[in-house]
Amino acid sequence: MIYSDRDIKRLLNEGRIIIDPAPDLATQLGSCSLDLRLSHEFSVFEYNRHPYIDVRDPKQA
């Protein structure tokens, strides 16, 4: 289901959606999304000759 920004605010206020710590709705709430950050760190991966991994191919999986 896709919720509007109004629905997201209402569900947060009702406690039907719980996010800890509470998001800053002024900067994180979109028209039908809520931006969340899992960490302040991220990884940069080395170049790989495969643009993707095909899990059906035993050599790549």
What does the DSSP 8-state code read for residue 20? Answer: S
Query: What is each CA distance from 19 to 24, 34, 48, in whole angstroms?
Result: 11, 11, 36
User: pLDDT averaged over the chain?
Assistant: 88
Question: Which residue(s) pair with 29 in the sheet?
Answer: 34
Note the pLDDT tens digit of each residue in 20-46: 999 999 999 999 999 998 888 888 777
